[in-house]
Structure 1
Amino acid sequence: MIPKRLPPRPENSVSLDKIYVCLYNHDATTTEDSHELEFQCGDLLYIINTDGPNFYVGFKYEIRPSTDKTPRIGLAFKDYITPVFEKI
């Protein structure tokens, strides 16, 4: 049977222009109060703020996020990441 209407769009839609890929490995500083994200080359980050002069704010982006944990929001050095999709 064909549905009469389309299913609703997910409320938490993803903005593709906010997905960045990591170009290098980065180990966060060892202090407990470090706000830096730790990531590996090829990891995806979802950037929520690009206002900083040297760092962007975001979190590790997972295609299939686990529902049991909240992503850690932190800083990513802007020269270590680049947008996944290019605006045309």
Structure 2
Amino acid sequence: ELGFFSPNNSQNLYVGIWFKGIIPRVVLWVANRENPVTDSTANLAITSNGTLILFNGKHGVVWSIGETFASNGSRAELS
């Protein structure tokens, strides 16, 4: 699964990938390991050019990966 998680009930939110249905959760990958977000209004977007971007609640970029170039503005979001 891909989603937001808070390890050990902390206030920090991370985007990660983990095995579905395994308890305790086994996280395989963390996007923003060095820059956790602390508000629940953060969102993850995939732009039309394939860039994966994590925004904080104030729409500031916390983390991103992929090429950045002109876009028509389309994107998908996980929030």
- Normalised by the size of structure 2, how large is the TM-score? 0.31
More strand by share: 2
Structure 1 or 2, whichever has the larger Rg, is 1
RCO greater where, 1 or 2, for CA within 8 Å and sep 6 or more? 1
- Normalised by the size of structure 1, how large is the TM-score? 0.29
